[in-house]
Structure 1
């Protein structure tokens, strides 16, 4: 499969487009069935993290305590289906209605084939949302969420939109909730064009530690590692940061895992 960071047509397609207008290009990609970023399956790094649940930092759903989850930029919904199989009531959000049509088809086919078997006492519900992630409110959707999973969403946003991404994530995360980021592409340089834009660990630290603020960056817009600071009282703090044992092929090179996976909580906890 051709990886998002190996697909030269995307940076060319987005070249010269104002950051606030990028969503129109993603919609057009779905309309044209141009989806080289699709992984064809769920994130096993996410599955392994929740299954292992280091230090029990992730709130797990149960019959007496159901939990909600959000997957922004869900595309064909692979990770939505995975989280549902783990018992979460999941909301798959995408700005493209064509993406959600593909997600519904994918869900119907996968469940008919017996994929995504229920791992707990119940299968969580699935709700598809055709909305702009940055919209202040979503129609008929109750927020915030107990778990949010970000993969190839952060890296799809140009750096000028990252402060708004962090601020929105904070507002969507419930007290006691967890934001999980599968960090990709972690070894790309900030000088290289996107999407995907470089997403090393310092980017997540720089933006999530003080949501809405602009951290110090280099001439290419990459966060300067030496200038990152501890989480502000109003920010998010990182609880877990590891290299997963398994990840998508696109997050590896010569068998070596490049991706990181991180877990974040409100710093006030």
Structure 2
């Protein structure tokens, strides 16, 4: 399995998280499209959820407070995981994984994968592998849900990287049925009209 390019390894992300002003993608809260999606989840079913490249993981915090008990967050860098642990002391420590998403094996399967600024943090060469790995980690009928930037970031040489819905569709079509793949209607104001809300079900 292809792994993260050395330029964007754990040390790179640790530096991004700890340097002032280097985490501009961090909304500081769960974003409205994902909050709306989370609010309609059936807590009684207790789906197993993965948030890869979770960063400070406001999504995991929100899901935890809703009563979802099988939420796993994964990130290459230790700093954001430690911050989540400090912010949410009762979040299960065994669900904080300092790990490479692409190195997770088939034993680690989930009902739901949440995408929030992880895809745009990957080197574009990893995008085809991302779609494949999401499908590999999802149980039959599982879903990939989240937000993708639907705008180019011209000249970007480091994350975040942008793109278009046409490009993205090609990565997911081999593995998923498209339930939603459209401009988010309730984005944060700074991102309005520039991000896609996706809900894709594993074929």
Give the C-alpha shift of residue 101 in structure 1.
0.7
* Matched position secondary structure for 1:134: helix
Contact 1:241 1:260 in 2 (8 A): yes
Q: Aligned partners of 2:104 and 2:114: how far apart in 1?
A: 19
Q: Aligned partners of 2:121 and 2:180: how far apart in 1?
A: 23
Query: 2:17: which partner in 1?
Result: 30
Give the C-alpha shift of residue 31 in structure 1.
4.3
Query: 2:137: which partner in 1?
Result: 172
Q: Aligned partners of 1:129 and 1:144: how far apart in 2?
A: 14
Q: Aligned partners of 2:183 and 2:38: how far apart in 1?
A: 14
Matches within 5 A, 1:1-269: 19-23=5-9, 24-32=11-19, 34-51=22-39, 60-63=41-44, 65-88=45-68, 89-108=70-89, 127-137=95-105, 143-184=108-149, 186-188=150-152, 191-193=154-156, 194-210=158-174, 235-252=175-192, 257-267=193-203
Give the C-alpha shift of residue 98 in structure 1.
1.3
Give the C-alpha shift of residue 20 in structure 1.
4.1
Show CA shifts across 1:145-183 (max 9, x none).
111111111011121111111111111111121101201
Contact 1:241 1:261 in 2 (8 A): yes
Q: Aligned partners of 1:106 and 1:136: how far apart in 2?
A: 26
Give the C-alpha shift of residue 75 in structure 1.
1.1
Contact 1:77 1:106 in 2 (8 A): no
Unaligned residue ranges in structure 2 (runs of 5+) = none
Q: Aligned partners of 2:96 and 2:32: how far apart in 1?
A: 22
Contact 1:192 1:198 in 2 (8 A): no
Q: Aligned partners of 2:92 and 2:114: how far apart in 1?
A: 16
Higher CA-based Rg: 1
Cα–Cα, structure 1 residues 202 and 20, in superposed 2: closer, same or farther, change >3 Å?
farther
Show CA shifts across 1:28-53 (max 9, x none).
223445422211101111122344x6
User: TM-score, length-normalised on structure 2?
Assistant: 0.83
Cα–Cα, structure 1 residues 106 and 250, in superposed 2: closer, same or farther, change >3 Å?
farther
User: TM-score, length-normalised on structure 1?
Assistant: 0.65
Q: Aligned partners of 2:66 and 2:92: how far apart in 1?
A: 11
| Count of residue correspondences | 195
Unaligned residue ranges in structure 1 (runs of 5+) = 1-17, 54-59, 112-123, 211-234
* Matched position secondary structure for 1:264: strand
